[in-house]
Structure 1
């Protein structure tokens, strides 16, 4: 609906990333414990100084990363990828200096693949899987021929490698699918929650509007009677203007009642493009006589929209917002245009105001936004109407000045 934004699938909160960094502290501690137990308990002949240096380097880098990601901000997927590649690198180095592919802990290379299945996209997951397989293969091929052929262990090590490959495929196919399903479910629940809140706001507004219209009927009828009696006793042009405005209010109230009945019956009809634009132009001239409205309208009797009576109030609501925005910027100009592309009608309303902030562009139309001029409620109601009619709504700032509202509706050939 709004200005293009970076997809949320490429951005995640750094909260999960910080959690991975904290978990790495525990993993580093376990590495150190295993190295010390192996050195002093089992007394294996390994390069313990090198292993401890690798652990120290891993700890130093992790401390730096912890302080970098302490704040609350978004983290790009590339940053998650970097963390996982660091884990593969340090784990491969540890295994290389601890008997390589013969080390029983070589299966830990599956752990970064499992983490990638939960945090990264499918393409990056395949990349991490390839890196992990390459690391295991490098450990296997780095073994000397004496180790491979000792007691015919070559077949055993090859079997371990194949087992790792199959395990990695299981992680990619099963864990990644489950993680993706969970993300889709969370996104669906979040959207459903937002839509429910929006519908509750619309129902509340509709109920309030119906109550207000019902309460206004009697005062309007009384005001009309008083105006007629005053006209009989006094002849003044202001009285005729007042009567005209009261009649307009009564007409709007009657239109609201008709509209409510049609909504109850879900009554829709085909309205030709020419009739739509002519009626819209007449309504604009009637409601905004002091506005310099620039028209660029393309008529057609062979194309029509399938709509109901709520379309015109929704459009007039947006035009009224445009008129108010222009007046606040000491301008009385508003542009109304349309175009037809691939059986779609695009209606564009441009004001000459100061434009909208990025936050307003994000929120207008999706929720009630507090505003002195009431733009938030009006745009929300109009947007809900267009969605119900199957139309698309877009709001953005013009490159020169002001804001632009664009409505896209499907057209039907009635020739």
Structure 2
């Protein structure tokens, strides 16, 4: 009987830490196969991916992941709770995943589970909501509520990886109790580190080096942090003008969007509350770049990450009402991006056991003509946001020759033999 270990990833870009995670996931789970549920062209922190989703998926499969499936953008560009829930539900609905493996600064599942269980208690939830009313962020409110009500060390929640790990465990308990959570200790680099001090660095540090140098310089510190074939493929894409894509690539698009949305439209965006739409509208008229807009709106309550997500939601056209409905339904399809020979075997089993359709050709489920109508099914509506995300993302390519739209209708999953 085939079973696989699942990972919820971004691979922005794939580096040695990801390779270590993959190998540890297989070792700890005993699974012969691996599946990565990967964010597409826009990521959890409200940023564009450095490289397009097919290229990142292909690099990961060449590095050893058997199958990459896209996490729909309506779950990918979300806070930890919704990002984790979407990923766990998608893995569970494939019907063949036995374990979920994730990295954390605190790798003890028991400790993380205690926090996850405490977060489901009514007194903790109420305390957290009260803290959020004072202007504290979600993470800070959780930490304060736990410290006050459960005598749990709030330091556990100081790391984005620990917070995600706890949300994975909560989602497993709520939606996929048969999934076995596996936590591995994050190696060497901290999530936010921008310096490279060893062969395992944070994705932030690798991206910073690539953007500063315009490439991964051979034999440089950054070169040592990425598997050789991955580094070569990244450089080929950069030299072709297909990266790196950054938020700065969309400065004019973002400002145009924010300046032309009326206050009612801004108020409907996810995460916009308490008059923030007025502040965004005013700042958009004065700002000359996206980062200037974000800096002028940022506050204790509205972190840079939250504001970045709001901007991406504006570009995509998502609203609070739409996301509430998608959260109720969960992921409605498994969109295949890349696979190897093992992945082909996995897909045969998934086709037999999955609770949702497997998408290998977008037009079989949504045509370009249907995309712009108001008669979409929930699945088509969710998929339409992925198509829109790609159409916007390509506008960020440095080489304008790659900026045409409709790629989701033209690209098939990439088969990469072992």
Classify the TM-score, shorter chain: under 0.3
Compare the two structures and name the one with the higher helix fraction. Answer: 1
TM-score, normalized by length of structure 1? 0.21
TM-score (norm 2): 0.21
Structure of greater relative contact order (alpha carbons < 8 Å, 6+ residues apart): 2
